[in-house]
Amino acid sequence: MFYEIRTYRLKNGAIPAYLKVVEEEGIAIQKKHLGELIGYFFSEIGPINEIVHIWAFTSLDDRETRRGRLMSDPAWQAFLPRIRDLIEVAENKIMKPAAFSPAGGTRPV
């Protein structure tokens, strides 16, 4: 299993607007294509104005296929402008769980 961890730093004060539009419209489109949402978070303490969402994929090919379908969906293309201007910095990581992780994993090669 691979986990995609997407972190966005939003403009000051933009978290409520961002979460509202994602909840009302965006998350349904994402779930339709991306599959397993592990969690969607916003910062309370530490770096402020931060959103983190984590998605699980069976393989990197699975992720590529699913992300490709999302990006080609006209509903997603229409939705993107609603959040794009709220995001200042975006970071993306692909992580694998360690063998002892509750998520179950493998030992590094």
In a domain, 100, yes or no: no
Residue 102 domain-assigned? no
The answer to whether residue 79 is domain-embedded is: yes
Number of domains within the chain: 1
pLDDT in tens, 43-91: 988 888 999 999 999 999 999 999 999 999 999 999 999 999 999 999 9
Domain hosting 57: range is: 2-95
3-state secondary structure of 83: helix
Is residue 68 included in any domain, yes or no? yes
Task: Tell whether 106 is covered by a domain.
Answer: no
Closest CA to 21 of 91, 72, 84, 66: 84
- Asked whether residue 109 is assigned to any structural domain, the reply reads no
pLDDT at 46: 85
Domain assignment of residue 35, yes or no:
yes
pTM of the complete model beyond 0.85: yes
Q: How far is Cα 106 from Cα 109, in angstroms, rounded to an integer?
A: 9
Q: What is the CATH number of the domain that holds 15?
A: 3.30.70.100
